[in-house]
Amino acid sequence: MGERIIVKIGSSSLTSDQGGLNQERIRFFADELSALHKAGYEVLLVTSGAIAAGFRKIGYETRPKLVHEKQAAAAVGQALLMQAYQEAFGLNSIGVAQILLTRSDFSNRKRIHNALATLNELLSCNILPIINENDTVAVAEIKFGDNDTLSSLVANLVKAKQLIILTDTDGLYTADPRTNPEARRIERVDQISEDIERIAGGAGSSVGTGGMRSKIDAARIAMRGGVPAFIGKLPGGGGLLEAVNGHGHGTYFDTVEHNLPMKKQWVGFHSSPQGTVTIDEGAETAILSKGKSLLPAGITHSEGEFHPGDVIEVINPDGVVIGRGVVNYAYWQVQAAAGLSTTEVRKRLDVARIEVIHRDEWVALS
């Protein structure tokens, strides 16, 4: 089995400013991905572009803003997008398959296990999966971060070697290079700090929905899951292989984390938290830096009506969410035990485990 590479391509790279597919660009990207495929990598493509491809065809003059209009445009555009990919990859004798996902697919552990099994089977058959959000059935605002977030979740799911997010900018700069001649490109990032978040760019193009900020957020998710990321552009033929080999035109986001098991992925990125606990500085250091479990003594406040087995968020003294975990206490037990020593908790409460969140069921997000 070859190493897995996730490549994400946004709307602005595939369509014209007026909408509709740019067939020449699609063939270019198909050639780049095909070269990666033929080099022995297992390649998965996460693509945007369905709405941008379809809104002109359906009769809208500009990209629609209402959800039902976006869904209609996506229903038309998705077929056009897949047809274009199928023809372009066919020129390289590579078969492709369409996978449509929503956030709820990731939230449901059985469904995401089934999706992973399908992806594994396609890759074993030498088929290149093309993944997009299922815009036509989305019930919330259609914005998966222009599929940036989707690409990072897929990268974690398949335990990819690398996530490549392609855009029209050659990486992250210290300032906007279009307006500031002093701006310099940041070559490598090993931690997404507040400074990195601050300098991340704003809105994307007229046909897409993502900006540099959503790409930084996606890189953070990938890094937390043990997948290094690259954000940049392809200057010409062979650029994708260069990016994978560490010589791309962009910014590399390194990580020392290991790939997360499926359960921890679900806890950290897909679950719906049922409450929160706020902890003191000592507990924060223990669970973030020393690999310890969260004990009642470190809790200062709790909210929500959660039960044992639910996922809750953990908040530090500054009000920042630093992670999620599976709680072993009911909400009233946490309220009763907060701030107490282990000895006192055992005297007062009948709990199955003394840890409020065990380290094996904890995922740090900060």
| Mean per-residue pLDDT over the chain, rounded | 90
List CB contacts of 272: < 8 A, sequence separation 6 or more.
Answer: 107, 311
The average pLDDT across 296-312 equals 96
pTM to 2 decimals?
A: 0.85
DSSP string, 285-309: HHHHHS-PPBPGGGEEEEEE---TT
Q: Do domains 4-263 and 272-364 have the same CATH topology?
A: no
Cα angle at 279 between 276 and 285, to 5 degrees? 130
Q: Count the Cβ atoms, other than its own, within 10 Å of residue 349.
A: 17
Q: Give the fold, CATH level 3, of 4-263.
A: Carbamate kinase (3.40.1160)
Please tell us whether the domain made up of 272-364 is placed in CATH 2.30.130.10. Answer: yes
DSSP β-bridge partners for residue 357: 294, 327
Q: State the DSSP H helix or E strand holding residue 35, giving kind and residue range, or none if neither.
A: helix 23-38
328 and 356 in contact (C-beta within 8 Å)?
Answer: yes
Q: Locate the domains of the chain by residue range.
A: 4-263, 272-364
Residues 194-252 pLDDT 10s:
888 888 754 444 443 347 888 999 999 999 999 999 999 998 899 999 999 999 999 99
